[in-house]
Amino acid sequence: MATLGAPIRQVPLVTQVADRFKALLDDGTWAVGTKIPGEVQLAEDLGVSRGTVREALRALSVAGLLDPRVGDGTYVRATDELTAILTRDRVVTDLAHALDVRSILETAASSRAANHATDDQLAEIDAALEARRTAHDAGDRAGYIAADLRFHRGIVTASGNPLLERLYDAVGQTMTETIDKTAVLPEDPGILQSHHDLRDAIGRGDAEGAERIARGIIDDVTFLDAIGGLAE
């Protein structure tokens, strides 16, 4: 007798709408910190009831992705569930702890990137380095921070480990904050050189060297931040 397989299940409309909203978070349409459209507009755009929209938004709020504010609207708190947990539970509250986690992830990524980086990925790392230099020379602090994150994110991508990439993205907001809190323009020449040395080590397949340099970059910015704090 033939088997019919798994039962056919229709996905509830609320779940479908929540998935649509999650896709907007994933692709950056709804960025962290931005205010999303109101329930009425969303309902009209999707052709569903306002109640369905409300339930879908509530599900994402419970997950920690959205932050409803009475009388103001709903804002994006996080685009990733793990980031939402870290933010909600205030796990990352100390800069030293955040830098420690960043060091662990980036040294592992740098070592693997030396063995796995493709030509296209190395080109992206080079482009990030150039954007970093351009923003630095222009005194564009926001552009410099974005380019620095792009550089390190590029190395994580080049590691060839999608789980490592996923973890890095999950704490991406924290990574941006560590760069923001430790970035000083003009940059210390030693740190600038270390970034180029890291790219070169990855390019020539020197896994041990890349790991050492990546760890040294975090150690250097940690030291300079400590010196800056003492000077204040």
pTM over 0.75: no
Fold match between 13-84 and 92-231?
no
Does the structure show a pLDDT above 80 at 39? yes
Q: What is the pLDDT of residue 30?
A: 92
**DSSP code, position 29:** S
Question: Could you give phi then psi for residue 49, rounded to 5 degrees?
Answer: -75, 160
User: Which of 51-60, 80-89, 170-179: highest mean pLDDT?
Assistant: 51-60
Listed by start position, the domains of the chain span: 13-84, 92-231
CATH number of 13-84: 1.10.10.10
Q: How far apart are CA 210 and CA 196, in angstroms?
A: 11
On the 0-12 / 13-18 / 19+ scale of CB atoms within 10 A, 116 is middle
Nearest CA among 189, 191, 180, 187 for reference residue 214? 191
What architecture is domain 92-231? Up-down Bundle (1.20)
Beta-carbon contacts of residue 133 (< 8 Å; ≥ 6 apart): 192
Does the structure show a pLDDT above 90 at 169? no
> Is 67 strand, coil or helix?
strand
